Structure formats: C-alpha cells, structure tokens
Amino acid sequence: MIHTVVWDWNGTLLDDLEVSFSAINQVLSSNGYPPVRDLAAYREVFCFPVIDYYRRVGFDFSRTPFERLAEQFMACYHPAAERCALAPDALDTLRAVRGMGGRQVLLPASLQTHLEMQVGRYPIREFFDRLLGIGDIYAASKAQLAADFVASSGRPAEGFLFVGDTLHDLEVARGCGARCLLYCGGHQSRGVLDGGGVPVIDHLSRLPALLGAENA
C-alpha cells in the first residue's frame, strides 16, 4: 500500500523546462560555447549529477570551474523561473492525492532556501507535510537526503512512491527500497525514461487513479 508520495519539483510539479533550457544556453553562449540545439536535444542530454550534465553540453572545467558555471546558471535561472507555471494538472493532482488520505513530501535537488522561495509563489504549500531541499546549489544528488527521510519515518519503505521526471528519481527511490513512477513532461524524454523499467505517465492526472488501484 502506498502511504506517502515523494514529489520531485523541477520539471515535475514546476514547469521550468524552457526556462532551464534557456538558462543553460545563456551560460554556454556567455562562455564561448555553442548552445544546445533545441528542447529535444536538451531532454536527451540532461542528467544527474549536474556536473555530468554540464560536461555533456560541452563545458570544459579547465577553462571555467564547474562551481562558477553553476552560479552563472542560477543567476540566469531564478529571475526567469518567477514566471513559471505549475505543470498541467499539478494542483488538481496534489488536491486529489490529499483527498485520498495520502501523505505528500517535496524532495527535489534544490537548495532548501530556493525551494521554499519557489513553492511560496504557488497555492500548494498546504499539500506537503515536508519540504526537503539539499544543502548547496550543485545538485550532486538527493539520494542521501531521501534515504535518511525514509529510514527515519518509521514506515515501510515499499509504501513510499517517488514521482519525478528523471532517471535520478528512480535511482533515489531504489536506493531507499521505495517505488517510483516517472513523468515524461519534464527534463528527460520518454525515450530516456522508458529505459528505467518502471511506469511512465504522460499526465500527472493519471496518478490518483493509479494510487487508487494500488491501494484498493
């Protein structure tokens, strides 16, 4: 039985795909690199840890350290992200899961202060028991944070369902002994996500029905 849904944020509940694509291209261009061709190419190359993603788009860290590039990305991303909408069906899905009695937690690869600032722009804080952000801007992994949270919960790990838009969410879930459902409307394509061997949904609105069937 699923007792807790652990949500990713960027690309899952927050529709920041185009903003992130634009921001990485701004950083590439300002440092003399060719931009990522289009959104389709971006969704094939994006990955975690972010340092590997930066290598895949072409950055040479001997020219500019990763830490400086990450700071430049955040400087481009955050002002633009203020205009981002929630993902389609996100609000209704959060409300439906709460109505089913499910506990919900937000656990992205985002700095805690950034997470709280972003979530505060939308009418969704009431749906989450916890907001769990990471400790720096470099987005290496949220795996340990997730493992600590699941282990300290006192609840069966297999009752946690992680919902995210990248294979990293699957890696994190498996590291906790939890389950995972992937959403293909975010930063990685369906072709990439299908390689994970877990269910992939096109619309967040499918989640409540899947939970209902699982918990029947």
Query: Which pLDDT band, with edges at 50, 70 and 90, does 215 fall under?
Result: confident
Cβ atoms of 164 and 180 within 8 Å: the answer is yes
Cβ atoms of 78 and 100 within 8 Å: the answer is no
Rounded CA gap, 153 and 30, in Å? 45
Element counts in the chain: helices (H) and strands (E)? 10, 6
**b/e sequence 113-147, b meaning 16+ C-beta within 10 Å:** ebbeebbeeeebeebbeebbbbeebbbebbbebbb
Spacing of C-alpha 124 from chain mean position: 16
Tokens of 158: 């297999």
Rounded CA gap, 210 and 205, in Å? 10
Rounded CA gap, 61 and 198, in Å? 34
The reply to whether the predicted model has a pTM over 0.85 is yes
Residues 6 or more apart whose CB falls under 8 angstroms from that of 65 comprise none
Query: Which pLDDT band, with edges at 50, 70 and 90, does 139 fall under?
Result: very low
pLDDT (average), residues 41-48: 97
**Residues above pLDDT 90, as percent of the chain:** 86
Query: Which pLDDT band, with edges at 50, 70 and 90, does 135 fall under?
Result: low
pLDDT at 189 over 70: yes
Tokens of 194: 């299908």
Query: Which pLDDT band, with edges at 50, 70 and 90, does 143 fall under?
Result: confident
At 5 the pLDDT is 98
Rounded CA gap, 165 and 181, in Å? 9
Helix (H) or strand (E) holding 56: helix 50-57
pLDDT (average), residues 37-43: 98
Rounded CA gap, 216 and 207, in Å? 14
Rounded CA gap, 164 and 130, in Å? 16
pLDDT (average), residues 124-140: 78
